Amino acid sequence: MEASITINRTVLTVVRGDITKIPADVIVNAANTSLLGGGGVDGAIHRAGGPEILDACRRIRAQQGGCPVGEAVITTAGQLPAQYVVHTVGPVWNGGDDDEAEKLRDCYRNSLTLAIEHGAASIAFPNISTGIYSFPKLLAAEIALDAVAEYLCELADDAPAPKRIIFVCYDAENELIYRETLGNCS
């Protein structure tokens, strides 16, 4: 069952599943600064999307030398049921005194900006930094939902807005946390 709320002109939805199977205009990847792939959702996206995605990441690397933490780049989605993949680099959790919260907010904001610039009506986010990078899941969910809600509320009335943002939770704990956190937003 889906949980959802509407903020401004956008429906926010929480689903459980594999983001590589979600049909959306933009799928967001939790990448690393090298942009050369890795484990977790990054590995799954490159496996399912095929080599075109890595080729595009290599071209970006050649131009700008990777992607700093909190920033985002956009590539083809290869064979995925999406038009684009936005690769953003979440912070490694380091106890909380290293601006991790602000860096995670930046991931969501910068990913939204790139996706909207590319005309995305639907955007799917994974739970950035909550796997290999060990960000506490509840805090990460609160930051994700707050950053996205604030971004949508700040959009001008005549600015393009996505119709749908999907928070894709892979594990049961994140799904429960997101459902509860989303419930507290309404």
Would you name the residues annotated as active-site residues? 42
Contact between 111 and ligand AR6 by CB under 6 A: the answer reads no
Which one of the spans 1-9, 68-76, 143-151, 165-173 is the region binding ligand AR6 (CB under 6 A)?
165-173
- Collapse the DSSP code of 129 into the 3-class scheme (helix H, G, I; strand E, B; otherwise coil) and give the result: coil
**Residue 36 has which token pair?**
């050369």
| Residue placing its CB nearer to ligand AR6 in the complex, 18 or 154 | 18
| Residue placing its CB nearer to ligand AR6 in the complex, 154 or 171 | 171
Query: What DSSP string runs through 31-84?
Result: E-TT-S--SHHHHHHHHHH-HHHHHHHHHHHHHHSS--TT-EEEEE-TTSSSSE
Contact between 19 and ligand AR6 by CB under 6 A: the answer reads yes
Q: Rounded to the nearest 5°, which phi and psi values hold at 30?
A: -90, 90
For ligand AR6, how many residues bind (rule: CB under 6 A)? 25
- How many Cα atoms occupy the beta-carbon half-sphere of 120 within 13 Å? 29
Q: Is 142 exposed, middle or buried (0-12, 13-18, 19+ CB in 10 A)?
A: middle
| Residue placing its CB nearer to ligand AR6 in the complex, 8 or 104 | 104
| Residue placing its CB nearer to ligand AR6 in the complex, 36 or 161 | 36
- Restricted to residues 125-154, the positions that interact with ligand AR6 (CB under 6 A) are 126-133
- Applying CB under 6 A, among 102, 150, 154, 171 the residue interacting with ligand AR6 is 171
Contact between 81 and ligand AR6 by CB under 6 A: the answer reads no
- Collapse the DSSP code of 148 into the 3-class scheme (helix H, G, I; strand E, B; otherwise coil) and give the result: helix
Which one of the spans 37-45, 59-67, 157-165, 177-185 is the region binding ligand AR6 (CB under 6 A)?
37-45
Distance (Å, whole) CA 164 – CA 135 = 25
Binding site for ligand AR6 (CB under 6 A): 18-20, 30-32, 38-42, 44, 90, 126-133, 168, 170-171, 174
